[in-house]
Structure 1
Amino acid sequence: MNYNSISEIIKARRATPPGMLMKKEISKEVIEELLENASWAPNHKKTEPWRFKIYTGESKQKLADDCARILEAKRAEGYPVAEEKVAKFVGNLQKVPVAIAIVVQIDLAKRLPEWEEVAAVSMAVQNMWLTATEKGLGAFWATPGFVELFDEILELQPGQKMLGFFYVGEVMMDYPSPGRRDQTPNIEWK
């Protein structure tokens, strides 16, 4: 894509559903650029709370299999997740070329509130998303309510919390802008 300004990139960014992402492989260099730009997100006290776990190819298939196994076991124990949601989630992992687990590392010294760490990770994800958009890629941040069940297979450390998966891939077709309503009611000048 060829954009003339950051404003154009921001307005071109879309939440592209996994079913609209081609399974075509994304180069390691592009993924590394997304991650490098993520690291430039602002964060208080420079705790750099973002942690990303990258899954492609066989590791992504293993992740999908492990998640399916855990979700089916939890369903059998009475955990409230519909079979269709399990199938959709696992299917999405299998469809996309890249799945990035988004993890926040909470400052164990508690120098700042948890929400600031989550906000910093969110800004890091936005940096990845804008970079993907600039490169003509689609992306989607999936936040199913059952991600806390994956702590063990993601090998999370003390103070880490899963915030979802960031899917990236080439887009099958252009997605129209959903637009935005007039923001005047949301703004108060003083």
Structure 2
Amino acid sequence: MSIAKTIRERRSIKTGYKSEAVSKEVVVELLNDAVWAPNHGLREPWRFIFVPTENKETFIEQLILTYPKDIRENRRNYFSQPAAFLMVVMKEDPRQKQWEEDFAATSALIQNFQLLAWERGLGVVWKTNPHNWEPKARQLMNVQPGEKIVGFLHLGYFDPNEVPDGRPRTPVEEKLTIM
């Protein structure tokens, strides 16, 4: 498959995950390619937290305790859909320029991961849920002060016949300025 075709056909898979486990080996393999994202000075500002399928239920039960009681069941149902989770955490540089470079690099890594996963039939949706900033959730995930959760990725295999339709993009010509 061409890179352009993969970019255009990749979708965020939010529901309809199969029960098939997502293995550590697959995630490590994908990450070992994804880390080739451009990153200024090769600072490699990222680290990863993986919750494999076999640990998911225990993690969910701990994570929902960080939510108000009245929405815990809703969150349990929501988090039970994916087969696994991958958190991408970035070390926050106090210098604005470096912070922005590191955030861009980490975002590029996540896009690489999504494209590589798509190629393997592994669905991903990149989430930035409120718990990414919740101190109790951050403590559960061992996210330290000076670190940012850039992506809380939901992972799971999916039926290729159930892929959501793509939504149109604005033609670049409408957003392009020639100087």
**TM-score between the two structures when normalised by the length of structure 1:** 0.82
CA-to-partner distance for each residue in 1:72-100, whole Å, 9 max, x for gaps? 3xx6xxxxxxx45x544432322211200
| Matching residue within 45, 62, 69 for 1:66 | 62
Distance 1:71 1:55 in 2: 19
Match of 1:80 in 2: none
Residue pair 1:41, 1:120 contacting (<8 A) in 2 also = yes
Q: Structure 2: which 5+ runs fail to align?
A: none
Q: Does 1:99 align with 2:88?
A: no
Q: Which runs of 5 or more residues in structure 1 are unaligned?
A: 76-82
Q: Deviations over 1:8-55 (max 9, x none)?
A: 1100111111x2222211233321122112211111121111111000
| Secondary structure at 2:139 match in 1 | coil
Tell me the distance in 2 between the aligned counterparts of 1:174 and 1:146. 27
1:187 equivalent among 172, 176, 179: 176
Q: How many residues align?
A: 175
2:164 is paired with a residue whose SS is coil
Q: CA deviation at 1:65?
A: 0.9
Query: What is the identity, as a one-letter code, of the residue corresponding to 1:61?
Result: E
> What is the RMSD of the two structures over their aligned residues, measured on CA atoms?
2.0
Counterpart secondary structure, 1:151: helix
1:153 to 126, 133, 140: 140
User: Is this contact kept in 2: 1:22–1:171, CA < 8 A?
Assistant: yes
Taking the aligned partners of 1:16 and 1:153, their CA distance within structure 2 comes to 25
Question: What is the identity percentage for the equivalent residue pairs of Structure 1 and Structure 2?
Answer: 28
Q: Displacement of 1:111 after TM fit? A: 8.4
Superposed displacement of residue 69, structure 1 = 0.8
Paired position in structure 1 for 2:47:
51
Whole-Å separation in 1 of the counterparts to 2:82 and 2:103: 25
Q: Distance in 2 between matches of 1:122 and 1:90?
A: 27
Q: Is the 8 A contact 1:132 1:168 kept in 2?
A: no
Aligned mate of 1:127, from 107, 112, 116: 112
Whole-angstrom CA distance in 2 between matches of 1:164 and 1:52: 10
TM value normalised by structure 2: 0.87
- 2:37 aligns with 41
